[in-house]
């Protein structure tokens, strides 16, 4: 009997369910990444990073932000991001997961209620698990379900604050939240609205500000924008009222007790925001790919197109066949998505061209026929 047997048995159970996860190398046309604007490997961003190194930007922060890790690049990024997105304040985190964990574990009080979309990201669930507020799931993109959950909680005599938590663009379904209606609900209920713009930042909005453009700057809106997707870098920006940013600095354990993000990463995000602003043609090119793919594959209204297969094993077989054909498409299974909805997650980026999209559509049609 080995002390590792419990873990071996757990992995064997995962394998029997056809849900084993493995790391595989990059290969073939990119239909898997979140590098929507093709910035992560762009010459423009590489040049900006090289220029930052030349002007002496450090690679490591050397400590937490509250010790000696608070670099001028962090502060410059936060100031520029606030101006770009229209928020009163911005705080830079090492990742979207860390930022969501900090938001939901720190800002809602123990007497409060978080009503979250049923399909919200795992990082939000992690923050809620660490926090003290009550939580309840609302049916996906159903404003009435959110309103009903709040009404039932109030009817029970609860007097705390409500936090409405959603993603603006859902990473596995590619569909878009009814943000305008949710903002009206938040105003009516004197509630906070927390919007995860991870997959919309850089892609949507008049200047790449995201689907929630125009909501930043309100005292009841908190917005998370990750930097490792369309911005092509790493880290995350929490845009919010100044008092909430100060609360995170003073109370968020993941911020207080973590070494600060790399100053060089902050410089890269600054450069990426400038590129997004200066190069709207990237969004236009991506929109054309979305239109082309949507004519052949299940359209979602965004650059994320799910092809629902259902069966876990069959999903992975088709994904493997696509990879053998030179298309990097990954299969997504439970628990990432609901049981019975295993799928191919096709992600459109500027790392592919129209010919590759058309060829992928041919291959998907053949393999799923």
- Per the annotation, the verdict on 140 as an active-site residue is no
Q: What is the pLDDT of residue 29?
A: 97
Domains of the chain: 23-37+280-368 (3.90.1150.10), 59-278 (3.40.640.10)
pLDDT classification of 340: cutoffs 50, 70, 90: very high
pLDDT of residue 17: 86
- Residue 25 — pLDDT band, cuts 50, 70, 90? confident
The pLDDT, as a whole number, for residue 102 is 98
Select which of 199, 213, 216, 262 is catalytic: 199
Q: Does 70 participate in catalysis according to the annotation?
A: no
Active site residue 22: no
Q: Calculate what percentage of the chain has a pLDDT beyond 70.
A: 100
Q: How far is CA 238 from CA 77, 78, 180, 203, 249, in A?
A: 12, 9, 20, 18, 12
| Known catalytic residue at 112 | no
pLDDT at residue 291 in the model: 97
Q: What is the pLDDT of residues 214-272, one digit of tens each?
A: 999 999 999 999 999 999 999 999 999 999 999 999 999 999 999 999 999 999 999 99
Using CA atoms, how far apart are residues 108 and 158, in angstroms rounded to an integer? 14
Can you give the pTM of this predicted structure? 0.94
Q: How far apart are CA 76 and CA 84, in angstroms?
A: 12
Convert 254-273 to b/e letters by CB count within 10 Å (16 or more is b).
bbeebebbbbbbbbbbbbbb
Q: Does 167 qualify as catalytic in the annotation? A: yes
- d(CA 347, CA 38) in angstroms, rounded, equals 12
Residue 165: pLDDT over 90: yes
pLDDT value for 369: 84
* 121 labelled catalytic: yes
| C-alpha 61 chain-centroid distance | 24
Whether pLDDT at 325 is above 90: yes
Distance CA 82, CA 356 (A): 37
Check if 196 is active-site. Answer: yes
Per-residue pLDDT, 84: 98
Residue 45 has pLDDT above 90, yes or no: yes
Give me the catalytic one of 30, 35, 117, 167.
Answer: 167
d(CA 229, CA 232): 5
Check whether 24 has a pLDDT greater than 90. Answer: no
Q: Which of 78, 100, 121, 300 is catalytic?
A: 121
Tokens found for residue 53: 């190194």
Asked if the model's pLDDT at residue 19 lies above 90, the reply is no
Whether residue 204 is predicted with pLDDT greater than 90 in this model: the reply is yes
pLDDT in tens, 65-103: 999 999 999 999 999 999 999 999 999 999 999 999 999
- Catalytic residue selected from 171, 272, 347, 351: 171
73, 229, 234, 272: the catalytic one is 229
Q: Give the residue-averaged pLDDT of 26-42.
A: 96
Out of 196, 213, 216, 312, pick the active-site residue: 196
Nearest-angstrom CA–CA distance, 179 and 193: 9
């Amino acid at each position: 009997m080995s002390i590792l047997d419990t873990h071996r048995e757990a992995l064997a159970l995962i394998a029997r369910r056809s849900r084993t996860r493995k790391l595989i190398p990059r290969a073939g046309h990119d239909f898997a990444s979140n590098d929507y604007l093709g910035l992560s490997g762009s010459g423009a961003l590489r040049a900006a990073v090289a220029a930052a190194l030349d002007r002496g930007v450090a690679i490591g922060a050397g400590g937490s932000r509250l010790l000696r890790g608070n670099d001028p690049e962090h502060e410059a990024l936060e100031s520029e991001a606030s101006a770009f997105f229209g928020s009163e304040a911005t705080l830079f985190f090492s990742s979207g997961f860390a930022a969501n964990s900090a938001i939901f574990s720190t800002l809602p009080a123990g007497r409060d209620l978080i009503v979250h979309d049923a399909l919200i990201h795992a990082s939000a669930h992690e923050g809620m698990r660490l926090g003290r507020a009550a939580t309840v799931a609302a049916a996906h993109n159903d404003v009435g379900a959110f309103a009903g959950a709040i009404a039932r909680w109030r009817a029970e005599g609860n007097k705390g604050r409500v936090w409405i938590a959603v993603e603006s663009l859902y990473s596995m379904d590619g569909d878009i939240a009814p943000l305008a209606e949710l903002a009206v609900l938040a105003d009516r209920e004197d509630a906070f609205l927390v919007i995860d713009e991870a997959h919309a930042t850089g892609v949507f909005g008049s200047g790449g500000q995201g689907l929630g453009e125009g909501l930043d700057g309100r005292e009841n809106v908190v917005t998370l924008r990750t930097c490792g997707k369309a911005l092509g870098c790493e880290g995350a920006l929490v845009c919010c009222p100044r008092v909430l940013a100060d609360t995170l600095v003073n109370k968020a354990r993941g911020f207080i007790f973590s070494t600060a993000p790399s100053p060089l990463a902050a410089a890269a995000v600054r450069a990426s925001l400038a590129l997004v602003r200066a190069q709207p043609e990237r969004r236009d090119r991506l929109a054309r790919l979305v239109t082309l793919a949507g004519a052949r594959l299940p359209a979602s209204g965004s650059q994320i197109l799910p092809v629902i297969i259902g069966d876990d094993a069959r999903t992975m077989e088709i994904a493997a066949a696509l990879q053998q054909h030179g298309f990097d498409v990954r299969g997504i299974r439970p628990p990432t998505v609901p049981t019975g909805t295993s799928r191919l997650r096709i992600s459109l980026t500027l790392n592919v061209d129209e010919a590759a999209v058309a060829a992928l559509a041919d291959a998907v049609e053949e393999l799923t026929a």
